[in-house]
Amino acid sequence: MFRNLSIIVLLCLSNLSLQAQDSLKVDYKGIRERIELSQAFINDLYANPSLKPFQYQQSLTPVDISYFSESKELYNYQKGSGNQGFRFNTESYQKNIYPDITLWGKATYENYKQKNLRFNETSDFDVVFPFVTADSIGGDLNTETYYFAGGLAKTIGKWSIAGQAGYKANLAHRQVDPRPKNNSSDIDAKIAAAYLLSNRYAIAADLGVRYYKQRNDLAFVSGLGRPSIYLFNGLAAYNSLISGSSENKGAMLYEASGVQAHLSVAPIDKNGLFVEVGINQNMGFRTVPHSISTANEWTDQIWSGKIGYFKNKLNRRYGALAKIDLQTRKGTESLFNNDGSNLGYTKIAEISSYRYYNFRYKLDAFVGQKNWTISPHASYAQFKEQYISPFREQLADNLDIGLKGQYLWDFKDGLFGISLNLQKRMLLNSRYKFNGLRQGSGIAEMLQQNYNYLTAEPFLIEGNLRYDFTVSKQIKPFVIANASSATEIKQKYYSLTLGLMF
């Protein structure tokens, strides 16, 4: 499969010269349909592989390199205070590269530092949480990420048949104690089909599968001052039989697999009604070096829905999109007995002890003309996390309200854009209870810090500048500068991107 992915990506990139545009006007039309505020979230609705032929009108391939830096004073300890590093990215979309065939591909390399991680020595937190390896010292984590993906869609009469696949690898380490060495891989594949209901609408369905694996090693070089190692089961609860010692040898192993499916009705010209429903179901487990049995298992389910209406007529655009995502994660932990067996700790029972609910409802709207767009947006989130015994819980209901704006200037040899986003978060409801905490371990401080971050009410200001210009017919550079700042959590973020468009 990796070979096929490489072939698809190389096919996209090798046809750059064949796909050179006939005029600068066409070039900027292709750029506009990707960066215009009104188009940005509409384009995401055509992620179904069989709808890719309708996603863009123009073929383009950007290649860019970015530097980014983020810092927060109030942050989730287990996710860190921000990332700092660089990214190389290229993606290609080739429409009708061969008769009735659309190809797309993407390749990304990231090298960055996750700063100030504590009570988490495991990579890919959002995949494996809450079952992480933890200690009170932590530190920065050096991370490399590789990602390759590609797809192909073939139009046959009223049908569009498509498939795509992707592979992501993550390597993370630290060169001072404690020294995690994490390797993870994430493979996904999807097949899809769409059928033209009329000359305006298509109905599409996709089915995807996923397989994830991580090896999480933790080592020490110094023989002095070693912290206790905890294997968290949820809200920092842990099994004292298999936690606490820094002398344990071996790796924690994670595996997860999943399936997802979506059904949508979409306008093929991005004008009209869009409807989609979907489900994403994943299951995973963790094994520890003390036992051949699984230490934890979890299921994760996300129901999603989207409905929107968009209109683009005589250079006037307006539309709205409502989205809902309902995520539920449930986890179990094993109970062990140390009977001196050569096979390690013996599993004697398991209990369902962890619950996680993250329900999100979002509404976006936009109105604009050729060069300007205004987009109000609002979202409501219900978050609840529970551990059964000792009972621990944190809950927060948040409302985000914001306004985005964008203006684009056409020049003789370039396109300049500026955008601004203002957003305020308001806390509507919250509570927490953390029972059974042992003082002096730092765990109580971590839980309180994470809760403070969860219930913060920042005001966000974000700005973006982009300039696309032409050196020659084949060389079209672009520059992007992005910066944001948020109160209360005292977040600062900036990035600079330099790239070429083919």
3-state secondary structure 368-397: ECCCEEEEEEEEEEEEEEEECCCCEEEEEE
Residue 425, pLDDT > 90, answer: yes
Higher pLDDT, 54 or 314: 54
Instruction: Tell me the whole-structure pTM to 2 decimals.
Output: 0.92
State the residue for tokens 């498509």. Answer: 162
Tokens standing for residue 186: 């994430």
Mean pLDDT, the chain, as a whole number? 92
Contact call for residues 232 and 238 (beta carbons, < 8 A): yes
Instruction: Please name the residue ranges forming H helices in 338-442.
Output: none
Range of the domain at 289: 2-501
- Report CA torsion sign: 57, 63, 66, 72: positive
**Spatial separation of the C-alpha atoms in residues 138 and 161, rounded to whole Å:** 48
Per-residue pLDDT, averaged over 351-363, amounts to 98
Per-residue pLDDT, averaged over 423-434, amounts to 98
What is the CA 134 to chain-centroid distance, rounded?
Answer: 23
Q: What is the pLDDT of residue 18?
A: 41
Count: domains in the chain: 1
Strands across the sheet containing 133-134: 133-134, 230-234, 237-238
Q: Which stretch of 21-25, 141-145, 305-309, 345-349 has the lowest confidence by average pLDDT?
A: 21-25
Q: Where are the beta strands (DSSP E) in 2-132?
A: 62-71, 82-98, 101-117
H/E element, 26: helix 24-35
Express as a percent the part of the chain with pLDDT over 90.
80
Q: What is the pLDDT of residue 344?
A: 78
Residue 486, pLDDT > 60, answer: yes
**Spatial separation of the C-alpha atoms in residues 332 and 314, rounded to whole Å:** 57
Q: How far, in Å, are 201, 306, 325, 378, 400 from residue 320 at the CA level?
A: 18, 11, 17, 12, 17
Per-residue pLDDT, averaged over 326-334, amounts to 98
